[in-house]
Amino acid sequence: MTEKAKIIAEVSSNHGGDLKTAKEFIKIAGGIAVDYIKFQSWQSKYLNKNDPQYAWFSKSELTDKMHYELINECERYKVKFLTTCFDIGRIEFLSGLGLKEIKVGSADTSSYKMLGLLKEKFEHIIVSTGMATEEEVVRAGAVLRGCRFTFLHCVSIYPTPPKKVNMLRMEWLRKFSPSVGYSDHCIGIEAVKLAIARGASYVEKHFTLGEGKCPRTMSWDATPEEFEGIVSYRDECTKLLGEGKSITDEDIIEARKKSIGRLGDNL
């Protein structure tokens, strides 16, 4: 059977720095049976204090202790913990958590030094490419050559209008790695379904518990019910695609028994 697309539920900072809420995200993600739940491991000391969202990001920062607690919670609910690395100074800590995979955001596709260091510490690197030029993607691919990596097509417009999705760019990314995917910022889940149908190895979608159920919800976030729809669609696509093998002799014999036509050359 065709390998299933891996589904990443991106919490981002929707937990608002509240550990209980972050754990609730994990519990629900585990129940839906997504493959990964993703957080973000920035440190506010490196953020620009003039950024309009500085206060929110400072409040929502995950402490070192929280990382350990969330990883334990992921193990409890059988969903993989994934996080985004934003700076070189965080690599040592994140690699020390025992993680084998790491995410790199679109703004850091051209952070070639960081990519090179991550390559030494992690078995698999997932890179969004929404803010990268073609030249930067080519160079990032060269830096990552020799390790397992996935390029995700995405459009860094929030929310992304359908006419801007440009899903065919995912096919261009296959030039650099057989593992490609899509990180979605559209309203709804249709674009994610399209990526799955087109053979994405990984799809990522922002995750909300719903209005009033977590500190922040954005219009491009998917609810638990929508994630259930994504998982169901992925499983159905996998079943329908099959393995690409020839029809079995048993199936051919059975089909011939029921055929009303004439077979062979005896016309």
Residue 192 has a pLDDT of 98
135 — pLDDT class (breaks 50, 70, 90): very high
**Average pLDDT over the chain, rounded to an integer:** 93
Above pLDDT 70, what percent of the chain? 94
pLDDT one-digit tens code per residue, 76-110: 999 999 999 999 999 999 999 999 999 999 999 99
**Coarse DSSP helix, strand, coil percentages of the chain, rounded to the nearest 5 percent:** 45, 15, 40
CB atoms within 10 A of CB 120: 9
DSSP 8-state assignment for residue 52? T
Is the predicted pLDDT of residue 266 greater than 70, yes or no?
no
Q: Which sequence spans correspond to the domains of the chain?
A: 6-258
Give CA–CA dist 9/191, Å, rounded. Answer: 15
Q: How far is CA 246 from the centre of its chain?
A: 32
Share of the chain above pLDDT 90, in %: 81
Task: For residues 137 and 143, give the distance between their C-alpha atoms in angstroms, rounded to a whole number.
Answer: 10
Give the per-residue pLDDT at 267.
Answer: 47
Return the minimum-mean-pLDDT range out of 174-178, 183-187, 260-264.
Answer: 260-264
Cα 202 to Cα 7: distance, rounded to the nearest angstrom:
6
pLDDT of 198-224, one tens digit each?
Answer: 999 999 999 999 988 999 999 999 999
Question: Domain 6-258, what architecture?
Answer: Alpha-Beta Barrel (3.20)
Give the lowest-confidence range in 8-22, 41-55, 68-82, 150-164. 41-55
pLDDT at 67 over 60: yes
Higher pLDDT, 142 or 58: 142
pLDDT score recorded for residue 251: 67
pLDDT at residue 261, rounded to an integer: 61
For residue 225, pLDDT over 50 is answered with yes
In which band, very low, low, confident or very high, does the pLDDT at 1 lie, cut at 50, 70 and 90? very low
